[in-house]
Structure 1
Amino acid sequence: MGKQYDVAVVGLGGLGSAAANALATAGLKVLGLERFSPVHDLGASHGESRGVWQAYFMGPEYVPYLRRAYTLWSELEEASGERLFHRTGGLCLGPADGALIPAARESAEKCGLEHEYLTADEVHARYPQFEPAPDCVAVYDPGSGYVQPEQTVRVGLALAQRHSADLHFNETVREITENPGGARVSTDRGTYDVGHVVVTAGCWSPGLLPELTFPVDVLRKVMLWFEPDGGAQDFQPGRFPYWIWEGDGMVGYGHPAANGLHGGVKAGVHSGGTPTDADGVDRYVQHREIAEIQDFLRTRIPRLGASGRYRKSAVCLYDNTPDQAFVIGPASAHGRVVVAAGTSGHAFKFLPAIGESVMEIVTKGSAGQNLSIFDPARFAVSR
């Protein structure tokens, strides 16, 4: 059978929609394969908002990639005619000698990013919704904000289809095989011969790449939304920032009210999580899980945690690598299979840049950005 497509993209969530769009826009004949319906809530690309941050606590080596992502978020807005990035400013809070604050300051200072270093009193004066303890400090990144994952995935898929991508939903990939001249994808509906395969299936990716040593812990995470005491006016974008906060042995996070006065204010815990299986995850949120986040917020953002009202919750999945860095690059002997996975709960802000990198690897053999920290080969086991 001759090649039907230049490239197949397996998994059409956040990373897959970005990759399909970049590949189709570059002129390739793209097949997209998704085991669920479009813009589903069963993986890691849902939940109304995702933080976007440049003074990044993961390290200054991430900042050039984030700068490229910011440029591409703007280009996506222009191509789609929709506003995607909402700039609200962002706070990284915690002890001065903790893990987050020194790392965020290092990224900002080494990379020449606009930022401010704030005391607890300065944080409260600027944002009275916060009640940081006296020993808490913050790094303020004025360029921070959020994007909405469901909108982003929908836009990526629509742009890919605009450039003639053929997207199949509710079709499950069973096997991916490679040969020197291409690859074959077998699904529950048929078989496709392609030039390359891009695997962007999140927590399901390792099962599709049995020849790649790809250690991933699948973690169940809980997102909550609260109705603030006194209403949500003070928690709207422009009046309340994206925030991430280290304290009490955990890292919490939250966003402004992304869906107006009646949508609730989102918060969750980035650290920790319950080990699970992607196909067997418990979608029911326990009372103790709600209480854990409320307890974290109680003294820090009292109008949410102490006197606020719990509104709703959702479960999502993290596919964590041992070093928390992504896995992006060739994943097979002949380079015909490319992976972008291992997102570790912090890849959405990079989304259009990762899509571009995947396209460059497929079309040119390497990415324009330095992706050495994301090389799948770092997990290779000597035999």
Structure 2
Amino acid sequence: MLVDRDRHFDVIVIGVGGIGSATVYELARSGNDVLGIERHGIPHTKGSSHGHTRMIRRAYHENPEYMAMIDQAYTRWEQLEDEWGEQLLYKTGSIAAGRPSCDLVSGALETCHEHSVPFEKIDGESASERFPGFQFPSEYEVVVQSDGGFVRPEAATIAHVELARQLGATIQSETKVTSWESTIDGVKVKTEDGQYKADRLVIAAGAWIGKMVESLEGIVSPERQVLSWLQPNNETHFTPENCPVFLISDDDNIHYGFPTFGKPGVKFGRHYHLNERVDPDEMDHSVNEHDMEVLTQSGEKYLNVSGEDPFGFETCIYTNTPDRDFIIDTLPNHPEVTVLGGFSGHGYKFAGVIGKIAADLANGKDPEIDISLFEIDR
């Protein structure tokens, strides 16, 4: 689509992936003339918002402070479903399993107790009987929470973008941003195809945010992540009706996964995989033998699956901060620029909420949620 270079927008959003698409939608919804610029297609597989499923859960082990956002996250996915007319959120229940002393289990229990989230705590043997797709060690504790589930990221990105376009937003895909700068009357964004002007700017560039914002380059760390789809020994044990989304700690690592959905096999990964920091422009998107071995061996340890004939593997990128908490803030000395990033492998579930916060910040409003946890200078 050709965009008038002389047109002055209210807001430009750099990055129209999972978070950026929600931001474009929320800005358009609040009456802004918004331009979204995406360097790849929409959706695409080079970032962090693909793979058919993304987890959502209330038993939040990372930090109970995120619970201020979780109710709104569920509400916004449900509202998006209603407006788009297609199911995007699937509630399967969630499992957090590991030794009683591990951070995953203790953190999930802390959040549930502190925020009155209903849950069950059962031992590993009982959990394996209830959910025969799993094989937990008997000494494990398993926290079962009924509201957990998954969101369809590709479908949700399309919904956000198309609804934003219906509200008047302009979307420019396959367009690489080369730089941006503040001007006397707002911002100027330069791309390989030309330049665009606006009053305000939101940068939601995912793994590229450090390249877009120099002050964040030493803070955010893109990391290569690998996903597998393993072959179940009994397919009925892994349908969304019978298999919760899951997190399993083995003391050293947290593994995670989903029921069969969107493509054959049980989706299974290891959180922060091999801790490989990468340049997103140079990352190897192929999967090697070591990647496969790590995931198939761990999958066979905890799931009733065969590691011999996996259905497939994919890569994606985490963009981590040192404390694994998000960055949602305006830039110091650039109040017209909002930055969204560092989602550290657990941000997608909050896309709608983050989009609303970003729209409020861009429009000079105080967000309804306290975002001091996400300040750049925390």
TM-score, scaled to structure 2: 0.95
The 1:249–1:120 alpha-carbon spacing in structure 2 relative to 1, beyond 3 Å, is: same
Number of residue pairs aligned between Structure 1 and Structure 2: 373
Distance in 1 of aligned mates of 2:104 and 2:151: 22
Question: Would you say 1:49 and 2:53 are equivalent positions?
Answer: yes
In the other structure, the counterpart of 2:300 is 298
| Deviation at residue 38 of structure 1 after TM alignment | 1.3
Could you tell me how far 1:94 is from its partner in structure 2? Answer: 0.5
Distance 1:95 1:212 in 2: 36
**How far did 1:199 drift?**
0.4
Q: Do residues 189 (structure 1) and 193 (structure 2) align?
A: yes
Q: How does 1:368-383 map to 2 (within 5 A)?
A: 368-378=368-378
Which residue pairs with 1:246 in the alignment? 249
Stretches of structure 1 that go unaligned for 5 or more consecutive residues are 379-383
Q: Indicate conservation of the 8 Å contact 1:180/1:334, yes or no.
A: no
| Amino acid paired to 1:377 | D
Task: Kindly indicate whether residue 321 of structure 2 is the aligned counterpart of residue 321 of structure 1.
Answer: yes
Contact 1:220/1:281 (8 A) holds in 2:
yes
* Aligned equivalents of 1:216, 1:322: Cα separation in 2: 7
In structure 2, the partner of 1:353 is 353
The DSSP-based 3-state class of the residue aligned with 2:377 is helix
| One-letter amino acid of the structure 2 residue matched with residue 343 of structure 1 | F
Deviation at 1:99, TM superposition (A): 1.0
Which stretch shows the higher mean deviation, 358-367 or 77-86? Answer: 358-367
Q: Match for residue 170 of structure 2?
A: 166
Q: Please state whether the residue corresponding to 1:359 is helix, strand or coil.
A: helix
In structure 2, how many angstroms separate the alpha carbons of the residues matched to 1:180 and 1:104? 48
SS in 2 for 1:161: helix
How far does residue 95 in structure 1 lie from its aligned partner after superposition?
0.6
Partner of 1:381: none
CA distance in 1, matches of 2:243, 2:70: 22
**Residues 46-80 of structure 1 deviation map (CA, whole Å, 9 limit, x = unaligned):** 11111101110112100110111111111111111
After TM superposition, give the deviation of residue 125 of structure 1 in Å.
Answer: 2.1
Q: What secondary structure does 2:127 align onto?
A: helix
Matched to 1:226, the amino acid is: L
139-148 or 288-297, which deviates more: 288-297
List aligned pairs for 1:232-271, cutoff 5 A. Answer: 232-259=235-262, 263-271=264-272
Distance 1:367 1:180, change over 3 A: farther
The aligned amino acid for 2:286 is Y
Over 3 Å counting, the alpha-carbon distance change for 1:52 and 1:304 in structure 2 is: farther
Is the contact made by 2:6 and 2:196 (CA closer than 8 Å) also made in structure 1?
no
Q: Do the aligned residues in 2 keep the contact of 1:9 with 1:16 (CA within 8 Å)?
A: yes
Matched, 1:216 2:220: yes
* SS of aligned partner of 2:302: coil
Name the stretch that deviates more: 121-130 or 87-96: 121-130
Q: Distance in 1 between matches of 2:64 and 2:199?
A: 35
AA aligned to 2:42 is: P
Contact 2:132 2:237 in 1 (8 A): no
Matched position secondary structure for 1:377: coil
Q: Does 1:98 align with 2:102?
A: yes
Report Cα offsets for 1:223-266 as digits up to 9, x if no partner: 00012123x2221101111000100511100101112xx62210
Q: Pick the aligned partner of 1:152 from 150, 156, 162.
A: 156
1:13 aligns with 17
Residue 41 of structure 1 and its aligned partner are, at CA, apart by 0.4
* Matching residue within 176, 179, 192 for 2:180: 176
Aligned partners of 2:353, 2:202: CA distance in 1, in Å? 15
Say if 1:55 and 1:63, in contact at 8 Å, map to a contact too.
no
> Matches of 1:298 and 1:286 in 2, distance apart?
19
Residue in structure 2 matching 1:24, options 19, 23, 28: 28
Mapped to 1, the partners of 2:218 and 2:79 lie a distance apart of 32
Matched with 2:85 is 81
Q: Structure 2: state its 5+ residue gaps.
A: none
Task: Assess, with a 3 A threshold, how the Cα gap between structure 1 residues 310 and 171 changes in structure 2: closer, same or farther.
Answer: same
- CA drift of 1:23 comes to 0.4
Letter matched to residue 245 of structure 1: I
Give the TM-score normalised by structure 1.
0.94
Maintained 8 Å contact 2:230/2:305? no
Task: Call closer, same or farther: CA 1:24–1:302 in 2, change over 3 Å.
Answer: same
- Matched ranges for 1:31-46 at <5 A: 31-46=35-50
- Give 1:181 deviation, angstroms: 3.7
Measure the CA separation in 2 of the matches of 1:322 and 1:334.
23
Do the aligned partners of residues 108 and 248 (structure 1) sit closer, same or farther apart at CA in structure 2, a change above 3 Å counting? closer
How many Å separate the matches in 2 of 1:299 and 1:196?
A: 50
After superposition, the C-alpha distances for 1:165-205 in whole angstroms (9 at most, x for unaligned) are 00001111111111464111111111211011100010101
Between stretches 178-187 and 202-211, larger displacement belongs to 178-187
Other structure's SS at 1:159 match? helix
Partner of 2:284: 282
